[in-house]
A and B are shown apart, each in its own frame.
Chain A
Amino acid sequence: EAQVTQNPRYLITVTGKKLTVTCSQNMNHEYMSWYRQDPGLGLRQIYYSMNVEVTDKGDVPEGYKVSRKEKRNFPLILESPSPNQTSLYFCASSLGPRGYGYTFGSGTRLTVV
């Protein structure tokens, strides 16, 4: 089944404790992206990647890191999480950087206390 897999689904952590949210897709998609979703703000893009080793900042990149060492994987790293990073996170992938629909993962609900 074609899908984007995120782990974990739920995560509660403490301020300052580094964490990684994994994202993997099995569709051979070139483009991958991370979004955060907050009430009333919609989906805001954090980082995106157009291919292996090619990443770029989205609209809200502060406090996040990403890497794209393999085509299928695009982990999101929070090196020192803070409470304002409490949010619902979605990974998405598409065939190319423009003009293609996105497939979203199931989401990761992160709480930083």
Chain B
Amino acid sequence: QQPVQSPQAVILREGEDAVINCSSSKALYSVHWYRQKHGEAPVFLMILLKGGEQKGHDKISASFNEKKQQSSLYLTASQLSYSGTYFCGTEKVSGAGSYQLTFGKGTKLSVIP
């Protein structure tokens, strides 16, 4: 079952902040975040593990609420290079498919000057 991402799309001006949310109905072992630019492959940004801490990379960070099975990706002071489609991927704690990474449908982020 795919995680649900919101919003589906967002337009930002350079320097503005954005939050992308990802939620699942299953107990999660981990949440991944990837960015895909047009015509390219998805690129791994970060992974948040059950019981782990909030992660960050430059001005992009993420959190994982295990109790709510939700994760959020925070992009601060956005740059033109942040444009692309962001996907969350989830791994379940147990049961069928627990060795699969299931992706959401993506959030298209456009940063304009």
Interface residues of A (CB under 8 A from B): 31, 33, 35, 40-45, 48, 50, 56, 58-59, 90, 97-107
Contacts and interface: CB of A to CB of B under 8 A. Distances in A.
B19 interface: no
Contacts of A106: 40-41
B98 interface: yes
9 tightest Cβ-Cβ pairs between the two chains A and B: A101-B44, A104-B41, A42-B105, A43-B103, A97-B99, A42-B103, A104-B42, A42-B106, A98-B91
11 contacts: A42-B105, A43-B42, A48-B100, A59-B100, A90-B41, A90-B42, A99-B29, A101-B47, A102-B34, A102-B44, A104-B43
Interface residues of B, number: 26
Contact of B32 (A50, A102, A105, A107): A102
B104 interface: yes
Interface of B: 2, 29-30, 32, 34, 40-44, 46-47, 49, 87, 89, 91, 97-106
Contacts of A42: 2, 87, 103-106
Given A44-B103, A102-B32, 14 more contacts: A42-B87, A43-B87, A45-B100, A56-B99, A98-B29, A98-B30, A99-B91, A100-B47, A101-B32, A101-B46, A102-B44, A102-B101, A105-B41, A107-B41
Contacts of B89: 43, 102
Nearest to A42: B105
Contacts of A105: 41
A45 to B, nearest CB: 6
Contacts of A40: 105
Contacts of A58: 100
A31 B106 CA distance: 23
B34 to A, nearest CB: 8
Nearest to B42: A104
